[in-house]
Amino acid sequence: MKVYELQSNAGIEALKLGERPEPKPRAGEVLIRIKATSLNYRDLMVAQGTYGSKLQYPLIPLSDGAGEVVALGEGVTRVKQGDRVAGIFFPEWIYGQLTRQKMKSDLGATIDGMLAEYVVLHQDGLVILPEHLSDEEGATLPCAAVTAWHALVTKGNIKAGESVLLLGTGGVSIFALQFAKLHGAKVIITSSSDEKLERAKKLGADETINYKTYPDWEKKVYELSDRIGVDHVVEVGGAATLPKSLQAVRIGGRISLIGVLSGRGEKVDPLPILFKSLTVQGIYVGSREMFEAMNQVISQHQIKPVIDKVFPFAEAHQAYRYLESKAHFGKVVIRL
């Protein structure tokens, strides 16, 4: 079978197309013919060696993939041949809190991922895709969508009438926009591009701010939230945006710490957190239980993930470079 492997952490050029024998499912395992995969910012970090230090190469990258069940190992009962499935980001995080054991394996990093024609996964690490979604759409869910759901719904318990600040228009933020609007919340979203902000408005964003035109965007967020501040922040920016998010959030509000798009390692002033009685929560994707709860709602409301561009398998490098360019809005997909 054809497979992409990262030969090292030397960047996108270290991604090579190769051949491996088709894997065979053992007891409890499932053989999946992959139809589509999607990229996350984390996959760039894996390629560049900035996603933890313990990765071993060669490595099949990507956590996100969807496909069809084509063969079953002995004793498999959760899925059947022909089912359309996606893998879960942490194959051992089925429900409950994240633990060291459950985070030991994550697809496309500590274990091989989805950028291959066939993949074998344990039946417990799979979810059935919502019927109304294409394979490409299904492949966008495991990382970005589950993360946004975990932040706003599972932990954030978001309610109608609350306000949400979203940073940029990448994969996590656009899913967060869709989930926030579904729950009747008000969305304020930032972007470096007026054109992307127009697209966000069409998806229901109530207020938009260009963070290049308004570097002090936190002040505008404060004004746009009745000089109270927002209830929720989905913090994907990291070092450069967190101090601003701490100003933009209301007293008693919640910040979900998710990403490091602007970098990491700078000092955080703890004072606003205690003065404002904030809940600051780290979010690391989510469990199968969260993924399945999200899928039910996606099916019930016929929600469609927002895909910016689909690349053929042969153009995986271009897909990575496109994600790196930050030209996208929502998700970037590779079709097999």
Ligand X SMILES: NC(=O)c1ccc[n+]([C@@H]2O[C@H](COP(=O)([O-])OP(=O)(O)OC[C@H]3O[C@@H](n4cnc5c(N)ncnc54)[C@H](OP(=O)(O)O)[C@@H]3O)[C@@H](O)[C@H]2O)c1
> What SS3 string covers the chain?
CEEEEECCCCCHHHEEEEECCCCCCCCCEEEEEEEEEEECHHHHHHHHCCCCCCCCCCECCCCEEEEEEEEECCCCCCCCCCCEEEECCCCCCCCCCCCCCCCCCCECCCECCCCECEEEEEHHHEEECCCCCCHHHHCCHHHHHHHHHHHHHHHCCCCCCCEEEEECCCHHHHHHHHHHHHCCCEEEEEECCHHHHHHHHHCCCCEEEECCCCCCHHHHHHHHCCCCCEEEEEECCCCCCHHHHHHHEEEEEEEEECCCCCCCCCCCCCHHHHHCCCEEEECCCCCHHHHHHHHHHHHHCCCCCCEEEEEEHHHHHHHHHHHHHCCCCCEEEEEC
Closer residue to ligand X in complex, CB, 42/220: 42
- CB 284 → ligand X: shortest distance, Å? 4
- CB 259 → ligand X: shortest distance, Å? 2
- CB 214 → ligand X: shortest distance, Å? 12
- CB 27 → ligand X: shortest distance, Å? 31
Closer residue to ligand X in complex, CB, 3/62: 62
Closer residue to ligand X in complex, CB, 8/193: 193
> CA–CA distance from 67 to each of 6, 119, 234, 318 (Å)?
22, 9, 30, 22
- CB 227 → ligand X: shortest distance, Å? 23
Closer residue to ligand X in complex, CB, 41/93: 41
Nearest residue to ligand X on Cβ basis: 170
- CB 118 → ligand X: shortest distance, Å? 25
Closer residue to ligand X in complex, CB, 78/105: 105
Positions that interact with ligand X (CB under 6 A)? 40-42, 143-144, 147, 167-172, 190-193, 196, 211, 236-237, 240-241, 258-262, 283-285, 323, 326
Closer residue to ligand X in complex, CB, 79/303: 303
Closer residue to ligand X in complex, CB, 29/254: 254
- CB 198 → ligand X: shortest distance, Å? 11
- CB 131 → ligand X: shortest distance, Å? 25
Closer residue to ligand X in complex, CB, 134/241: 241
